[in-house]
Copies of this chain bind each other. A is one copy, B any other.
Amino acid sequence: MKTHTDFLQLPTRGQGTYEITEDVARIVCASGVKTGTATVLIQHTSASLILYENADPTARVDLEEFFKRLVPENASYFRHTAEGPDDMPSHLRMVLTRSSEVIPIVDGLLALGTWQGLFVFEHRRAPHRRRLVVMILGE
């Protein structure tokens, strides 16, 4: 059993989803681990992680629209408003999705389903450089 640590930096260009499946798969490959887990953590509270449909891009457009409606900007009760109207909604959208995701590694590959991809879900409008930690455990 061994561990393998790596980091990713992802520049985002506003709200939306950014697939990182291949970036994580490359780290799994470099680790030499054939059986174990890949833990991915995004080190931010205004962006999150999701495993999502990666075939039809309209599924990601609808996702974005749904979250715009579920978590409104400028809610009258918001007090955390110093960083702009998209800041407090970004924390709420993050908390409704995930900060870490753990994916089994089987035969040296991420054991994802056919249509599953790992995405960073960016909730801020301005470009950001997002940092992620990838921790591989296994043998």
Interface contact A62-B37, CB-CB below 8 Å? no
A75 & B66 in contact (Cβ 8 Å cutoff): yes
**Binding site secondary structure of chain A:** mixed
- Which residues of A approach B to under 8 Å, CB–CB? 1-3, 5, 35-37, 39, 41-45, 50-53, 56, 58-59, 61-63, 65-66, 70-71, 75, 77-80, 82, 88, 91-92, 95-106, 111-116, 131, 133-135, 137-139
The complex is assembled from copies of this chain, and their number is 3
For residue A104, which residue of chain B has the nearest CB? B135
CB-CB under 8 A from A102, the residues of chain B are 39, 41, 100, 102
Q: Which residue of B lies closest to A134 (CB)?
A: B104
Candidates B39, B59, B71, B105; contact of A104 at CB < 8 Å: B39
Pick from A41, A112, A115 the residue with the most CB of B within 10 Å: A41
Q: Is the CB of B45 within 8 A of A51?
A: yes
* A56-B80, A59-B88 known; A111-B41 Cβ under 8 A: yes
Q: Given the complex, which residues of B lie within 8 Å of A96, measured CB to CB?
A: 96-97
Closest to A55 in B: B45
With A95-B52, A96-B96 already in contact, the answer to whether A79 and B62 are too (CB < 8 A) is yes
Instruction: Determine whether the beta carbon of B41 is less than 8 Å from that of A39.
Output: no
The 5 A-B pairs with the shortest beta carbon distances in the complex, nearest first, are A43-B113, A104-B135, A1-B1, A58-B79, A51-B99
